[in-house]
Amino acid sequence: MIVFVHNLVTKDFWLKLFSLALAILIWLTVKFSISGEAPTSPWLALIGRSPDEMVVTVPVRVPIVNGRTFSVDPTNVVVTLHGDPKLLKGREQDIRALVDPTGIEAADGLMRPVELVLPPGIAYTHLDPKEVSVGVSPKKTE
């Protein structure tokens, strides 16, 4: 029994190790082909996100128009940023998510697209959600 286990591991060891490495590379190729992502290196694929990507949560802002304030639901959006790692680091406060309230009079629950304002050199690859529900407060009378 011990000889069998010993031969199972040591006999053709290099061939077995090569087969394992090849199987892992095939698995990574299929995984990223299906998901549509393209890792910059196979090692980063095992770890997670590449260093030029960052995920941040940004509050959605709506300006006051004609004395009316607006509320949004959800109040935050999740943005996946892409750019130079030096530019991404520490720039989360420069990213703004805005909703244009023009044309909204009294409709609550109206869906409006979220617009992102990003610093130069930074782009986004994913935004969730892309639209938010806007609520309108009553017009202030003087």
pLDDT for 94 equals: 83
The CATH label, of 2.40.50.140, 2.115.10.20, 2.170.120.30, 3.90.1150.60, for the domain at 49-136 is 2.170.120.30
pLDDT for 50 equals: 61
pLDDT for 105 equals: 66
Going residue by residue through the chain, which has 142 residues, state the pLDDT in tens, using 9 for 90 and above: 788 888 887 888 899 999 999 999 888 888 777 765 555 555 544 555 566 777 888 888 887 777 777 888 888 898 888 887 777 777 777 888 888 877 776 666 678 888 888 888 888 888 888 888 888 776 655 5
pLDDT for 22 equals: 93
Q: Which residues are within 8 A (CB) of 42 and not within 5 positions of it... i.e. 6 or more apart?
A: 25, 28
DSSP string for the chain? -HHHHHHHHHTTHHHHHHHHHHHHHHHHHHHHHHH----SSHHHHHH-S-TTEEEEEEEEE---BTTB-EEEESSEEEEEEEE-HHHHTT-GGG-EEE---TT-SS-TTEEEE-EEE--TTEEEEEEE-SEEEEEEPPPP--
Question: Where are the chain's structural domains?
Answer: 2-46, 49-136
pLDDT for 20 equals: 92
pTM tops 0.75, yes or no: no
